[in-house]
Amino acid sequence: MQNYKLTIEYDGTNYLGFQVQAKGKTIQGEIEHALERLFREKIRIISSGRTDRGVHARGHVINFKVSTDLKNRNIRAALNTYLPRDIVIKKIEKVASDFHAQYSVKDKTYEYVIVLASIRSPLLQRYAYCCNYDFNVKAMRKALKHVVGKHDFRAFASKIPSDKNTERTIKKATLNFNGARLAIRLTADGFLYNMVRNIMGTLCLVGQGKLTSDDFRNILRSKDRTKAAPPAPPEGLTLLSVHY
């Protein structure tokens, strides 16, 4: 059995998220269906994580094991033929048998994009949170610094993990602004459910002047989900990369 690592890009607009569900289309479901068509057997993939409904990815990583004589390029070509146009296998590699797409992760990078516009853009609204606010970017940058480092992110978790460990380490947090587009990138050793979107929803309140940077810090320290804002819309979020 050979262990294969795949890097995937997808537009999550038309899916219920990555993970297979009882009903509805998912990224995982489409990929496993394509694998079954190619290898004539059911193959369960291992994912680096899961993305929510409507969230996108440029560098989602999975792995699976199969016995085959097919070359990597032929596997990739065949899978991309079977997959819908909004999902593509960008890269396929043979890896060691103990490689695990989830447990081998060192860190992940997400990007959240906000477009400031008085009129919504049909071309941008699938891949950004389009809104008409006069954000205080300086205040947002100041608040964003509070998430860097190891913290208990319970206040920004929509669901508490079964092991109840809500500590994560954000290694890097940046905000780039060009006058109409904000791009916030977070790199961490792991993320809780809806963590990025909940951080972004609360950060947007800072940008609107409804919260201060100190308020944001206090919400983080409170470990109280009810004190933070609702999650920002999913279409602005993209998983950029997973590092091993």
**pLDDT tens profile 63-84:** 999 999 999 999 999 999 999 9
Residue 102, domain member (yes or no): no
Q: Using alpha carbons, select from 241, 9, 1 the residue that is nearest to residue 105.
A: 241
pLDDT at position 25 over 90:
yes
pLDDT at position 217 over 90:
yes
pLDDT of 121: 83
- Identify whether residues 136 and 191 lie together within a single domain: yes
- Identify whether residues 124 and 206 lie together within a single domain: yes
- Identify whether residues 227 and 115 lie together within a single domain: yes
pLDDT at position 192 over 90:
yes
pLDDT of 167: 97
Which CATH number goes with the domain that contains 28? Answer: 3.30.70.580
- Identify whether residues 36 and 148 lie together within a single domain: no
Query: Does residue 11 carry a catalytic annotation?
Result: no
pLDDT of 181: 93
- Identify whether residues 204 and 90 lie together within a single domain: no
- Segments forming the whole domain that contains residue 167: 107-243
Residue 101, domain member (yes or no): no
**Residue-by-residue DSSP string for 22-77:** SSS--HHHHHHHHHHHHHSS----EES----TT-EEEEEEEEEEE-----HHHHHH
pLDDT tens digits for range 124-162: 889 999 998 889 999 999 999 999 999 999 999 999 888
Residue 14, domain member (yes or no): yes
pLDDT of 72: 97
pLDDT tens digits for range 84-124: 999 999 999 999 999 999 999 999 999 999 999 878 788 88
pLDDT of 163: 84
State the catalytic residue, choosing from 11, 52, 215, 224: 52
Residue 136, domain member (yes or no): yes
- Identify whether residues 123 and 239 lie together within a single domain: yes
* Cα distances (angstroms) measured from residue 72 to each of 5, 45, 91, 94, 95: 10, 17, 9, 8, 12
pLDDT of 138: 96
Of 64, 95, 126, the domain-final residue: 95
Which CATH number goes with the domain that contains 136? Answer: 3.30.70.660
Of 95, 122, 148, the domain-final residue: 95
| Rounded-to-integer distance, Cα 159 and Cα 214, Å | 25
Residue 200 identity: M
pLDDT, average across residues 16-42: 96
- Identify whether residues 121 and 231 lie together within a single domain: yes
- Identify whether residues 217 and 119 lie together within a single domain: yes
Band the pLDDT of 179: cuts 50, 70, 90: confident
| DSSP code, position 229 | P
Predicted TM-score (pTM) of this structure: 0.94
- Identify whether residues 63 and 165 lie together within a single domain: no
- Identify whether residues 149 and 234 lie together within a single domain: yes
pLDDT of 120: 79
- Identify whether residues 112 and 90 lie together within a single domain: no
pLDDT at position 42 over 90:
yes
Mean pLDDT over the full length of the chain: 96
pLDDT, average across residues 227-240: 97
- Give the residue with greater pLDDT, 172 vs 163: 172
